[in-house]
Chains A and B, each alone.
Chain A
Amino acid sequence: MGVFGEPMALRYLIWLLEGFAVTLLLSAAVSVAATGLGIAVCGLKLSGRRPLVILADTYVSIIRNTPLLVQLFFWYFGASALMPSGLMTWLNTPHVLDAVLVSLHWPAFETIAGFFGLTLYAGAYIAEEFRAGINGVDPAQRESAMALGLRPALVFWLVVLPQAVRIAWLPVVGQYLNTIKNTSLTMAIGLAELSYASRQVETETFLTFQAFGIATILYVAAVAVTEAAGHAVARSGRFAWATQRP
């Protein structure tokens, strides 16, 4: 009681849990996509071709040196004003993608913009973590593998990459944790994730403490569980074997 008021009705708890589900799904989708993007951008940086390197550097610099909130505002409010109205109409019309087994509902534009903005953001950070991982591999190892007569591509795949992944793994997990927290900013563009849901519950019930308290606990739990899982993978036999130093 007191400042916390009476316990909130089940209906509002369900709103919060729905918001949490959106947060988790969005974080997972963004983490997967951003990992792919990060690897690709890291590849561009290591390609040695000047235009590609400049492209990758520009992207990373723009994303890392501007606030995510401003980026999300830009993608949702700014960029959609630039798109042809036909495309916007198409993006906003509900489509059902019928695959053989699953039929996916076309997400709302908030979700598309949020996913896009968060993926671009996390991708820039993950690219840098991978690059740091590759740079962190002792050059002597590459040289000794070359001395054994292995081709450079093979040396990269067999010697450099496994160790780079091991070095980069925990920092990349750190970016996944940041992604979970960063999804909270998408409430500013109307995406109904956990922070949005907590404000909505607050609007209807005025149970400010409960709404924000539950949301905070769910965020902390999601981050803690993901972090623990990341560390467990890092310690697991398979990961250690795959990345063992020769």
Chain B
Amino acid sequence: MRRLFLLLIASFLASGAAHADRLDDIKQAGVLRVAAFDSNPPFGFVDPDSKQIVGLDVDYAKVLADKLGVKLELRPTNPANRIPLLTSGKVDLVLANFTITEERAKQLDFSIPYFSSGQQFLAKKGTLTSPDQLNGLRIGADKGTTNEIVLRRDFPKAVVVAFDDTPFAFTALRNGNVQAITQDGPKLVGLLANVPDRENYEIPPFTISDDYIGVGIPKGEKRLADVVNETLLELEASGKAAAIYDAWFGPNTKQPLPRLFKIGDKK
């Protein structure tokens, strides 16, 4: 109770401070600008029929825009452009399978996690069974991801070849230019589900890190962050978060994955 009271006081003081912050800007413009992936099903990808960007991240973005009562405007991004887009003020939020790290938290603020995953690998069947084999392999990663950094730090003998986006790395794998590619597990599952000759590939059952995915928010935008966090918690409480998850990873989808993480499990 006391914490809630303090929170109320704090938010009152913050809103009382007369300067317009990003939340006011968004409401005044009537538009929430969100960076989302355009080539990473099921998080963010261009729907072949509607030509619009859709996906799990996009569903969350829509809810946030509705909550703010404004129009949603999506900007396509690749992994490397996420932070520059946010720090240069080109977008208000990033919802693009964005892993929360301490380093990144110095540049921007994160919401509470709304998704969790671990860094995994995709390789041709039978080529990769344990992490020990990673040293000495040529491994495709995405520029500007934590996957790239973790791999370089923990497996210094692996040759990391970084591409603009995961499907490019996959093409390099398919052509034999790299022997494995690395990404968050759910993203690889989503990718593999869309590969025509998926029977030739596998995702070996080991992870080399645990990642929590959050919404990227411009540094110091406290009120905006509060709205985002509140909305995420409401989504979990109302069961809508589970519904969004099921729409993309549920048993009837191309990439069924059990939902082990709930919003609010980790602050």
Contact = CB atoms under 8 A, between A and B. Distances in A.
Contact between chain A and chain B defined by CB under 8 Å: yes
Interface of A: 76-77, 80-81, 85, 88-89, 92, 108-110, 188-190, 196, 199-200, 202-204, 206, 208
B177 A110 contact: yes
B161 interface: yes
Which of B104, B144, B145 has its CB near the most chain A CB atoms (within 10 A)?
A: B144
Contacts of B138: 92, 108
A77 B107 contact: no
Given A80-B175, A81-B174, A92-B177, A203 B168 contact: no
A190 B176 contact: no
Given A92-B138, A108-B138, A203 B172 contact: no
A128 B171 CA distance: 35
A85 B124 CA distance: 14
B143 A200 contact: yes
Contact of B148 (A80, A88, A188, A203): A203
Which of A77, A89, A202, A208 has its CB near the most chain B CB atoms (within 10 A)?
A: A77
Contacts of A206: 83, 103-104, 106-107
B177 A204 contact: no
Contacts of A89: 176
Q: Which 4 A-B pairs have the closest CB atoms?
A: A88-B176, A80-B175, A190-B161, A203-B144
Contacts of A188: 163-164
Interface string B144-176: 110011000000000101111000100110111
A97 to B, nearest CB: 19
Given A203-B80, A206-B103, A77 B171 contact: yes
A88 B149 contact: no
B87 interface: yes
B84 interface: yes
A204 B83 CA distance: 12
Interface of B: 80, 83-84, 87, 103-104, 106-107, 138, 140, 143-145, 148-149, 159, 161-164, 168, 171-172, 174-177
Contacts of B163: 188-190
Contact of B172 (A85, A190, A200, A204): A190
B138 to A, nearest CB: 7
Contacts of A77: 168, 171-172, 175
A190 B162 contact: yes
Given A89-B176, A92-B176, A208-B87, A200 B162 contact: yes
Contacts of B159: 108
A91 to B, nearest CB: 8
Contact of A109 (B162, B171, B177): B177
A88 B83 contact: no
A113 to B, nearest CB: 9
A71 to B, nearest CB: 16
Contacts of A202: 80, 84, 144
A81 B144 CA distance: 26
B41 to A, nearest CB: 19
Contacts of A76: 172, 177
A76 B178 CA distance: 12
